[in-house]
């Protein structure tokens, strides 16, 4: 008996149409739920999914159109691709708020273990979204940037101990370092003034020279 390839193809398409429709509905539901939450959560799985749905469907949602078409008119490769995109989003832990919180908590635990900084998930997200941190990461890499922030969180007295080293090697920055250390303003990772940011961007790699060379 001759194998009916077309019949089997149609059966496969029908099955995949049903699977895709289920995945698309669940994915759209999660996208809507994430949008209600808003904030930093929209930077993770949500951002990737929206990028894909805009490219594939021109909207911020997965389209059901292909799942309602006659199987004979469906491009199996295209349907399979749509389904894979939906599944990838659903399998990402940050596609739900609960998963996002779990992922964020793991991140702050890792930050504490590696850098000794105690942060809440919200504080960690603020740092990663901060323009200052991104500039540090672009200049020195995210690993080194986190070590910089850990060092900057020292008290002004502890930081002052490092100033002579920085002055000896980089006297051009010495006066600025002394000025910022002498004005009584603690240098912390949160709420750093624009003036401090500009100066720290210039001196951070020198002040924590030893620290950045011990990246595991």
User: Residue 161: which pLDDT band, with cuts at 50, 70 and 90?
Assistant: low
Q: Which residue has the higher pLDDT, 163 or 28?
A: 28
Report CA-CA distances (Å) from 181 to 163, 177, 184, 187, 190: 9, 6, 7, 8, 16
pLDDT, tens digit, 9 for 90 and up, residues 135-159: 767 776 777 777 766 766 654 455 5
Question: What's the confidence (pLDDT) of residue 162?
Answer: 54
d(CA 81, CA 208): 48
User: Does residue 181 register a pLDDT over 80?
Assistant: no
Pick the closest to residue 153 from 117, 125, 123, 179 (CA basis).
117
Question: What's the confidence (pLDDT) of residue 13?
Answer: 96
Report CA-CA distances (Å) from 154 to 82, 103, 127: 50, 27, 17
Least confident of 28-32, 109-113, 192-196: 192-196
User: Does residue 15 register a pLDDT over 80?
Assistant: yes
User: Residue 187: which pLDDT band, with cuts at 50, 70 and 90?
Assistant: very low
Q: Which residue has the higher pLDDT, 141 or 8?
A: 8
pLDDT, tens digit, 9 for 90 and up, residues 33-91: 999 988 878 888 999 999 999 999 999 999 999 999 999 999 999 999 999 999 999 99
Q: What is the mean pLDDT of the segment spanning 16-21?
A: 97
pLDDT, tens digit, 9 for 90 and up, residues 81-113: 999 999 999 999 999 999 988 888 888 888 788
């Amino acid at each position: 008996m001759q194998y009916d390839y077309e019949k089997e193809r149609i059966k496969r398409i029908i099955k995949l149409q049903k699977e895709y429709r289920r995945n698309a509905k669940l994915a759209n539901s999660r996208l809507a739920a994430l949008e209600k939450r808003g904030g930093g959560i929209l930077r993770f799985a949500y951002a990737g999914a929206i990028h894909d749905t805009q490219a594939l469907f021109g909207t911020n949602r997965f389209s059901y159109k292909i799942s309602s078409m006659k199987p004979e008119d469906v491009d199996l490769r295209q349907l399979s691709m749509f389904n894979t995109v939906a599944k990838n989003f659903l399998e990402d832990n940050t596609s739900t708020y609960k998963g996002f919180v779990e992922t964020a908590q793991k991140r702050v635990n890792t930050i504490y273990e590696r850098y000794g900084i105690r942060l809440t998930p919200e504080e960690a997200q603020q740092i990663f979204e901060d323009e200052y941190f991104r500039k540090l990461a672009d200049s020195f890499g995210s690993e080194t940037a986190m070590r910089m922030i850990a060092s900057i969180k020292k008290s002004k007295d502890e930081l002052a101990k490092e100033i002579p080293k920085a002055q000896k090697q980089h006297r051009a920055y010495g006066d600025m370092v002394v000025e910022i250390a002498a004005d009584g303003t603690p240098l912390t990772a949160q709420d750093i003034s624009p003036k401090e940011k500009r100066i720290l961007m210039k001196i951070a790699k020198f002040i924590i020279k030893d620290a950045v060379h011990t990246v595991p």
